[in-house]
Amino acid sequence: MQTLTYEGLQIKKGTLKKVKDALVVEAALQININSEPYTVVMRTPGDDIELIRGLLYAEDIYKEKDNVNFELIEKRENGFSIINTIIPKTKLGKGYLNKRTLLSVSSCGICGKQKLDDISVNGIKLNNNFDFDFNRIENMFSKMKEQQDTFEISGGSHAAALFNSNYQILSIKEDIGRHNAVDKVIGELLQNKTLDKVNCMLVSGRVSYEIISKAFIAKIPFVIAVSACSSLAVDFAKEFGICLIGFSRGKKATIYSNN
């Protein structure tokens, strides 16, 4: 259930008529860890396991290679769900030890942070020596768009896609939230143990600090966006060794860092 049909009144040239529109679903997902509520994520239902896996990885809660067990506790007709994640206490990372209860809304992935220090990311700068063929970008976006079924119906979802060094698509996911789509594609490859094959991530909207931080944690050296990049995204991309490209539309694009 990624879209639902709603009635509305369309205004066109001063006249009104009833229309039926497909709208992308936004619903709450409660994530429990070892039967204790951890967070609530506003997302588009579907690929919930991948979303949780990617989120736990990005938040430094569980970064082991072994997969974890998931239990569906509750699933409601409106898309609201509760999923419990079972993780041995000895394998819980610092992100859980510094536990905070947060509400992650679909438009903001860092809204639950409590301190400025919580938005810092540490690690060794990526060593990016790949000779990227920028002429491939338009075709890569075409491949992603071909699989954006929810966007095709509703026009309201974001997408993220991961590619390998041969410019082959490895995963594409859609969600109402930009960062949720990123968590889903990263989570899928974590589950498949193929995250080390990723060379580039495409996103359908703008790039913020958090998307760059997720790419860095997943060791993805190229991030390419249809839309704009924030100032902090560019600053962090330069610091992390990520080649960040924005405004990629048709045969045009702007390279902001590490080209």
Please state the rounded mean pLDDT for residues 88-112. 68
108 is catalytic: yes
The set of residues, in sequence order, having a beta carbon less than 8 Å from that of 5 and lying 6+ positions away, is 20, 21, 22, 23
159, 193 Cβ separation under 8 angstroms = no
Q: Which single residue is written with the structure tokens 């992603």?
A: 144
44, 2 Cβ separation under 8 angstroms = yes
Is the per-residue pLDDT at 113 higher than 60? no
Please state the rounded mean pLDDT for residues 208-228. 94
Confidence of residue 115 (pLDDT cuts 50, 70, 90): very low
Is the per-residue pLDDT at 114 higher than 50? no
Confidence of residue 122 (pLDDT cuts 50, 70, 90): low
Catalytic option among 108, 111, 229, 243 = 108
- The ranges of the chain annotated as CATH 3.40.140.10 are 134-257
Is the per-residue pLDDT at 116 higher than 50? no
Q: What is the pLDDT of residue 111?
A: 52
The set of residues, in sequence order, having a beta carbon less than 8 Å from that of 13 and lying 6+ positions away, is none
Q: What are phi and psi of 184, to 5 degrees?
A: -65, -45
Average per-residue pLDDT for the chain: 88
Segment (H or E) for 250: none
Q: What is the pLDDT of residue 28?
A: 92
Q: Which residue did the predictor score with more confidence, 25 or 129?
A: 25
Indicate the class that CATH gives domain 134-257: alpha beta
Segment (H or E) for 9: strand 3-12
DSSP string for residues in 203-238: ESS-B-HHHHHHHHHTT--EEEESS-B-HHHHHHHH
Q: What is the pLDDT of residue 94?
A: 85
**83-92, 97-106, 166-175, 187-196: least confident range:** 97-106
Q: 111 is written with which tokens?
A: 């809204």
